[in-house]
Structure 1
Amino acid sequence: MSSGSVEYSSRDGRAYITLNRAEKRNAMSDAMWAQLMRCYDQAEADDDVRVVILRGAGDDFCAGHDLSEVGNQYGDGGTDAEGQRRRPSQRARLRYDKAYVERFQRIFTFLKPTLALVKGYCLGGGLYLAESADLVIAADTAKLGHPEQKLGLSGAAYFDAWEIITLGARKARELLLMADVWSAQEAREAGLVNRVVPVAELDERGEQWAERIVRLPRDGIALGKAATTLALESLGVTGQFSYGHILHTLATNVRYEPGEFNFMKERRVSGVRASTHEREDFYIRSNADE
């Protein structure tokens, strides 16, 4: 099965980065994450590029991390003296999670303005990509949220500081703790995206905004972005990248009590698709009992 790809092109002061795995709603494999970082490096090194446009192939922006890889990314914990399999160490978890969080930090502190064009599903790691961007235009088909919090993270996110600043403390807690998926309009009203447009107009509106940016002086663009990053640092927002991986490492090592849904266990038994549906059914049943 294809692990997908990330495509890069540039013209007229714009760099276009396209997540290309439409058959999987552009779910990101580890190979795609590595390609994505190389694309941002290329855009930053090209002095002719003044703005980066991030988009998804097909009908969706990005459904997050490929769930078939989740839980396996920490490697094999080996065996003990009796030959029993061991869980991956905390140091292995921290090492991977730190590198993972640094990808979003790379985009968040990128030296040039970034614009995400969101349509269809924008979930989990896909929403982190949108949150990392300076500007977000969403199509009216967009569905945004962090349903991965139902895997056991319960609000431990890489962007909690930014979300609190952007959405307000209560709305940020709702986004993470309730793990609902918001419509494009709900996301706009909360401040998660800048504009909502018909899906047929998404690319055109993105081009209009990009054109307004590329007409600005290059030094002005760079200094403006640097000033924004400095302001966020002074507010303590970028500190989320220092502790985010620690929270994730702890959250992926939670103990499940009887009656609690364990995605990793269910995936081993039923596979990714069936366990994902079971997760949603579990929460639907839980809400129905209230």
Structure 2
Amino acid sequence: MTGSVDYLARDGRAYITFNRPEKKNAFTNAMFDQLMQCYDEAERDDDVRVVVLQGAGDDFSTGHDLAEVGHEYGETTYDDKGRPRKPSQRARLLHDKRYLERFERVFKFLKPTLSLVKGYCLGGGLYLAEGSDLVIAADTAKMGHPEQKLGLSGAAYFAAWEMMTMGPRKARELLLMADVWDAQTCLANGLVNKVVPLASLVDAGEEWAERIVRLPRDGIVMGKAATSLAMDSLGITSQFSYGHVLHSLATNVRYEADEFNFMKQRRDKGVRASNHDREDFYVKKERA
């Protein structure tokens, strides 16, 4: 697996760049670990007053690399007759708790975060944008949770935040329909703060970052702490208490004969072909 998460601090800003453009900045577990190291560095640096998240190339991030999904619970184990065993709930909960803690760190980070979204922003990539304080999107942005078609069907880590932001109806639509929304639809539903032409995205981000940088350091941190307290009082942060439990259950789906099993298709055909088959399956179902 290639790819990196790059860090650059200057002028009161910490730029964190997802650098795997050939895979639309899909995250490996190693890249998620690098991301946390970047947040540690930004937290230690007193001169950093705002974190700017961005993707290399044409996209923000398509989330967790599907080549790793399904293998995250460790090596396959076998019973005394040589038959493969499902991962234990212990392994599921341990991994999912650690995975969710990464997004919680982004959400509760002590300094403001600004995501500059272009192209695809899906799944875990959307969680990173949702966990940011501010989001500016290019007119090329496409945001959503198509991974719900893998069988999760609404078990989203950020379900509470999405319901608060969009209202229960639109939040359920985003998850259950598993559609990918264009930039203007995202703006209308509160997923982003503003939409600008792609050529203006960096400049728009610099303008907002500069306005934040001019604020006093203590004021910035106290403002963010107050925001976290407000989220606690509204019950939004409870999603980080139960999210990993629900995800562990959701990844233990039993597929019936007439249902699309991505894991089986990926084993037989590979990631790219099974992705296309998944979309074809749901489109045909919708047209039927």
On whether the aligned pair clears a TM of 0.5, the verdict is yes
Question: Structure 2: how far apart are the matches of 1:89 and 1:245?
Answer: 14
- 1:47 CA displacement: 0.2
Deviation at 1:45, TM superposition (A): 0.6
Count of residues in correspondence between the two structures = 288
1:149 — aligned with what? 148
Q: Mind listing any 5+ residue stretches in structure 1 that lack a counterpart?
A: none
1:255 corresponding residue in structure 2: 254
1:5 aligned onto 2:24: no
Task: Give the Å deviation of 1:143.
Answer: 0.3
In structure 2, distance between residues paired with 1:167 and 1:34: 30
Partner residue, 1:222: 221
- For residue 3 of structure 1, report the CA deviation from its aligned partner: 2.4
Preserved contact between residue 3 and residue 31 of structure 1 (Cα < 8 Å):
no
Counterpart of 1:104 in structure 2 is 103
3-state DSSP class of the match of 1:221?
helix
Computed over aligned residues only, the root mean square deviation of the Cα atoms, in angstroms, reads 0.6
Q: Is 1:95 aligned to residue 66 of structure 2?
A: no
| Correspondence 1:165 to 2:164 | yes
- State the alpha-carbon separation in 1 of the partners of residues 276 and 89 from structure 2: 29
Report what 2:183 is aligned to: 184
**Alpha-carbon distance in 2 for matches of 1:258, 1:179:** 21
Residues 3, 32 of structure 1: 8 Å contact kept: no
Report the alpha carbon displacement of residue 34 of structure 1 after superposing the two structures with TM. Answer: 0.3
Q: 1:196-215 counterparts in 2 under 5 A?
A: 196-215=195-214
Residue equivalent to 2:265: 266
> d(CA) in 1 for partners of 2:141 and 2:149?
20
Q: What is the distance in 2 between the residues matched to 1:70 and 1:108? A: 23
1:76–1:87 CA contact under 8 A, matched in 2: no
Superposed displacement of residue 154, structure 1: 0.2
CA distance, structure 2, for counterparts of residue 210 and residue 265 of structure 1: 45
CA offset digits 1:4-56 (Å, max 9, x no partner): 10000011100000000000000000110000000000001100000000000
Offset, 1:83: 2.0
**Which residue does 2:64 correspond to in 1?**
65
Cα deviation for residue 88 of structure 1 reads 1.1
The one-letter amino acid paired with 1:25 is K
What residue in structure 1 maps to residue 78 of structure 2? Answer: 79
State how far apart, in whole Å, the 2-side matches of 1:143 and 1:79 are.
41
Alpha-carbon separation, structure 1, partners of 2:252 and 2:145: 19
Structure 2 residue identity aligned to 1:22: P
Q: CA deviation at 1:76?
A: 2.0
1:85 CA displacement: 1.6
Structure 2 letter corresponding to 1:270: K
Contact 1:37 1:103 (C-alpha < 8 Å) held by counterparts: yes
In 1, Cα distance between equivalents of 2:80 and 2:180:
46
Cα pair 1:256 1:262 within 8 Å, conserved: yes
Q: TM-score, normalised by structure 2?
A: 0.99
Q: Which amino acid letter does the alignment assign opposite residue 202 of structure 2?
A: D
Q: CA deviation at 1:258?
A: 1.6
Return the TM-score normalized by structure 1.
0.98
Deviation string 1:246-290 (CA, Å, 9 cap, x unpaired) is 11110000111120000001100110000000000000000001x
Partner of 1:238: 237
Identity of aligned residues (%): 71
* Aligned-residue offset at 1:79: 1.3
Distance 1:79 1:280 in 2: 33
Separation in structure 1 between the aligned mates of residue 108 and residue 279 of structure 2, nearest angstrom: 34
